Amino acid sequence: MSDEESYAVQAKSAGDESLKKDADQPLSAGELEPFGNEDQAEVKYRTMKWWHCGMLMIAENVSVGILSLPSAVATLGMAPAAIMIVFISALSWYTGYEIGQFKLRHPHIHSMGDAGELLMGRVGRELMGIGQLLLLIFLMASNILMFNILMNALTDHGTCTLVFGVVGLVICFLGALPRTMDKVYVMSVISFVSVFVAVMVTMITVGVESKGHIPTHATTNVSFREGFLAVTNIIFAYLAHVAYFGFMSETEDPRTFNKSLAMLQIIDTVLYLISALIIYRYVGPDVKSPAIESLSPLMRKVAWGLAIPTTILSGVVLGHVACKYIYVRMFRGSDKMHSRSFFSIGTWVGICLGVWVVSWVVAESIPVFNDLLSLISALFGSWFSFGLPAIFWFHMNRGQYFKNYKKAFLTITNVFVLAIACAICGLGLWVSGAAIHEDSGSGAWTCSASS
């Protein structure tokens, strides 16, 4: 059975009337997914196993940003922070599952832009496509910003921070040049090993360097703005959803996505909980963000050195998704996508360069690490990770919202999820905007060290 016939059967079994056709009229490549029939293609995209997809999701989601979580624990207290991490993890798992189901119902979807077109027509396509691209660019910018912090720590601010930013830009651009996800998979494995080792070294070091009793708090008394800013930093640790459609499109069998999702959620949640609570326990309320900055000068450099691969390569995964969105948008249905011609390769290189330059500009414009994380979480992550998956569920279950007790329960659940997304967006924009305004003089477009 060809790819087109297989997806036609899958679409029919999913029960979506908009994609059903006669058995002898399989869905066209344009309706199915962006890469069409790859039997004779020079460049094949649908090559990943489920564990490849899972590792890419982990690399996209788990990077040095994990070390901002101890400062969130310091702000909220150990009990509220642990509850928030588990709750947001469960919510993220459920909304990720909804995205996977939506993709199976509509195999042609490759991006949030495609989903937007299905929901709201041309306006939805442009709105959600641009939103996805902006979110990915901001996430890439946070990686460049982290690279600046890393290099300043390793070299004792040996040169202008703008120079470090350009170096990070060049390295990430070169890493993003492969056109297929299976080649990026190797980088994702290196990225995860890097961040895992860096986090382990940080946890061990704070325990060894701890001096006497460190005061910690199960709960704290903080202002609403400070507390919500900490919550948005936790939310940032679960913003992988924006790339799920793209990852599923490059797996051999998208129906295995739930395995990939489980792999991501179990690994990142366990790592987040253990590292955040242990580091806070041994450093205390004065823990810095990222937590590596709380180590002694020598061990700080060791930990940052171990984190170099993840700082670069997690950004490469994000950059690949952003560039692939533009590339597919340009060449969907064309043989150029599968060609190794000078034009096809040159276009890919040009897209990569342009996207990474824009992300560098963003990084240099908002150089305060926590503020950037908060802005990303509020403006984009609230919708792509929580709000839109709930809307997808309502779209898939039109006319069945109160068909039985199970449907009624899920309807109420998704209304709740949508309300959470609205709250995160509105309140998050307020607290992050105020924080960026207060820190507006903190080294934007200067040679001073990023914070």
- In DSSP notation, 63-77 reads SGGGGGHHHHHHHH-
Let me know the angle formed at the C-alpha of 50 by 47 and 56, rounded to the nearest 5 degrees.
85
Closest residue by Cα to residue 243 from 146, 147, 139: 139
Nearest-angstrom CA–CA distance, 228 and 206: 27
Q: Specify whether the CB–CB gap between 209 and 296 falls below 8 A.
A: yes
Look up residue 351 and give its amino acid: I
Q: Specify whether the CB–CB gap between 105 and 15 falls below 8 A.
A: yes
Residue 12 confidence class, pLDDT cut points 50, 70, 90: very low
pLDDT at 382 over 60: yes
pLDDT attached to residue 408: 94
Report the percentage of the chain scoring pLDDT > 70: 87
Residue 384 has what DSSP assignment?
I
Look up residue 173 and give its amino acid: F
Q: Six-digit token pair at 339? A: 């060609």
pLDDT averaged over every residue in the chain: 84
pLDDT attached to residue 27: 40
C-alpha distances (whole Å) from 139 to each of 98, 240, 291 are 23, 10, 19
Q: Six-digit token pair at 294? A: 């709380």
- Give the range among 17-21, 107-111, 215-219 with minimum mean pLDDT: 17-21
Residue 277 confidence class, pLDDT cut points 50, 70, 90: very high
Residue 383 has what DSSP assignment?
I
Tallying the residues shown for the chain, one arrives at 451
pLDDT at 368 over 80: no
pLDDT attached to residue 3: 46
pLDDT attached to residue 442: 55
pLDDT attached to residue 159: 81
Q: What would the pLDDT profile of 311-325 be if each residue is shown by its tens digit?
A: 888 889 889 999 999
Average pLDDT (287-297) is 88
pLDDT attached to residue 353: 94
pLDDT at 94 over 50: yes
Domains of the chain (ranges; CATH) run 49-364 (1.20.1730.10)
Q: What would the pLDDT profile of 13-37 be if each residue is shown by its tens digit?
A: 443 433 333 333 334 444 566 776 6
Nearest-angstrom CA–CA distance, 92 and 232: 14
Q: Residue 41 phi/psi, 5° resolution?
A: -75, 145
Nearest-angstrom CA–CA distance, 401 and 409: 9
Chain-centroid distance of CA 165 in Å reads 21
Higher pLDDT: 322 or 437? It is 322
Q: Beta-carbon neighbour count of residue 340 at 10 Å?
A: 9
pLDDT attached to residue 334: 79
pLDDT at 292 over 60: yes
Residue 251 DSSP SS3: strand
